[in-house]
Amino acid sequence: MIKIILIGLLLGSLSASQVVKIFGDSNYPPYSYIENGKAKGIYVDIIKLVFEKIPEYDLELNMTAWKRAISMTKSGKIVGFFPPYYSKKRTAWTNFSISILGETSSVFAKENVLKGKKRFPEDFFGLTVCLNRGFTLMTGGEEFKNAIEKKQIKLIEANNNKDCLSRLKRGLADFYINDQFIDISKFPLIKKGMKATLNFGHIGFTLKDEKYPFIKDLTDKFNTIVKQMQADGTIDKIIQNYKFKKDI
């Protein structure tokens, strides 16, 4: 009887799914955020569905501040985070999954700031931009990044959408770059202007993978399933579910 129990326990442990800790940005609606204590968003729904299709991996999904998700991925405390944009600098500590979906970034500002401007970022030289803390400069594209680095545009940072929009309202910044779908209804003086750039979100898998011998297999399977979901329209349907939802 004892032998049978031990064999049963062994077989059970061998068949158990591998727990995978993935952290997402807690304040990036409609893509990833917390609502009533639960993880929500386009990427959240996509990633959950992917993991349903690879039952050998058990997703443990948590939401946290963006900079903390980056720090935990760098140190190898978690398997990965979402949804970073690709940058060469980040490849020193993360391996990017296939691009999951495209995000169009737009310029937000008061009407008088947007008036007459047709070229981005050239028409914004000499002004101050606000970005969410921890966002890559590629949020506004390569030319925008270069303009920041050359100090042609001044950069200030804030914790989230609301804080940056508040800085625009108070005149502490001239414009803001973020996704085209963010809700600005609580800031009636702020308007959506021109497109800034198109970025692609990924999962960034840690390169501190000594504890995660399965990570290559996981990445390969994740990429394969995302490709299938892109091809069959599943991801487009998930995006439509959120397209007109309000920011939180």
- Span 129-157, pLDDT tens digits: 999 988 888 899 999 999 999 999 999 99
The reported pLDDT for the residue numbered 39 is: 96
Say if residue 47 is in the same domain as residue 132: no
Over residues 109-130, the mean pLDDT reads 97
Over residues 205-228, the mean pLDDT reads 97
Question: Is the pLDDT confidence value at 246 over 90?
Answer: no
Question: Is the pLDDT confidence value at 220 over 90?
Answer: yes
Over residues 1-16, the mean pLDDT reads 44
In a domain, 6, yes or no: no
CB 173 within 8 A of CB 146: no
Six token digits for residue 86: 């690709």
Over residues 20-38, the mean pLDDT reads 93
| 66 backbone dihedrals φ, ψ, rounded to 5° | -55, -45
| 41 backbone dihedrals φ, ψ, rounded to 5° | 125, 165
3-state secondary structure of 118: coil
Structural domain including 124 reads 104-198
In a domain, 63, yes or no: yes
Q: Is the peptide bond before 213 cis (omega within 30 degrees of 0)?
A: no
Report the chain's mean pLDDT, rounded to a whole number.
91
Say if residue 84 is in the same domain as residue 131: no
Say if residue 171 is in the same domain as residue 90: no
Question: Is the pLDDT confidence value at 56 over 50?
Answer: yes
Say if residue 74 is in the same domain as residue 118: no
CB 191 within 8 A of CB 109: yes
The vertex-23 CA angle with 103 and 46, nearest 5°, equals 50
User: With bands split at pLDDT 50, 70 and 90, how would you rate the model's confidence at 29?
Assistant: confident
8 or 44, greater pLDDT: 44
The reported pLDDT for the residue numbered 9 is: 41
Percent of the chain with pLDDT over 90: 80
Q: Domain tally for the chain?
A: 2
In a domain, 1, yes or no: no
- What CATH number should be reported for the domain holding residue 121? 3.40.190.10
Six token digits for residue 56: 């050998």
In a domain, 3, yes or no: no
d(CA 13, CA 9): 6
Say if residue 79 is in the same domain as residue 119: no
User: With bands split at pLDDT 50, 70 and 90, how would you rate the model's confidence at 11?
Assistant: very low
In a domain, 149, yes or no: yes
Over residues 196-221, the mean pLDDT reads 96
Compute the radius of gyration of the chain from its Cα atoms: 21
Say if residue 70 is in the same domain as residue 135: no
The reported pLDDT for the residue numbered 244 is: 52
Say if residue 236 is in the same domain as residue 188: no
Question: Is the pLDDT confidence value at 2 over 50?
Answer: no
Backbone torsion region of residue 171, taken as left when φ is above 0, otherwise alpha when ψ lies between -120 and 50, otherwise beta:
left
Q: Tell me which DSSP letter residue 247 carries.
A: P
Cβ count within 10 A of residue 10: 10
- Please give the helix or strand (H or E) that residue 63 lies within, else none: strand 57-64
The reported pLDDT for the residue numbered 5 is: 41
| 145 backbone dihedrals φ, ψ, rounded to 5° | -55, -45
Percent of the chain with pLDDT over 70: 92
In a domain, 5, yes or no: no
d(CA 244, CA 234): 18
d(CA 244, CA 228): 25
d(CA 24, CA 83): 7
Question: Is the pLDDT confidence value at 202 over 90?
Answer: yes
- Span 85-114, pLDDT tens digits: 998 999 999 999 999 999 999 999 999 999
d(CA 248, CA 233): 27
